Amino acid sequence: MKITEIRDMADVELLDKIKDSRAELFNLRFQLATGQLDNPARIKDIKKDIARLLTEMRSRELNAASDAAAS
């Protein structure tokens, strides 16, 4: 997932994507533990996507706080 796609998402979409990504990460870790994981690099990709999503959420929170303080 690219950062431009993430920035175009609404707040609700970001929260849903974070929730889905965390569930997928859990499933991938479970598959890894049971030896059924086909692509171990997918875990790394999902973790990076979650970090990108959380970073964008935090950025929006900080921007909202600074806008409120400036008003």
pTM attached to this predicted model: 0.90
Task: Give the residue carrying structure tokens 């409120």.
Answer: 68
Assign a CATH topology to domain 3-70.
Helix Hairpins (1.10.287)
Residue 68 CA, distance from chain mean position: 26
pLDDT at 30: 96
DSSP-assigned letter for residue 7: H
Domain definitions of the chain by residue range: 3-70
Residue 61 has pLDDT above 90, yes or no: yes
Q: Which secondary-structure segment (H or E) carries 21?
A: helix 11-34
d(CA 66, CA 40): 40
Residue 53 has pLDDT above 90, yes or no: yes
Tokens of 21: 């990504």
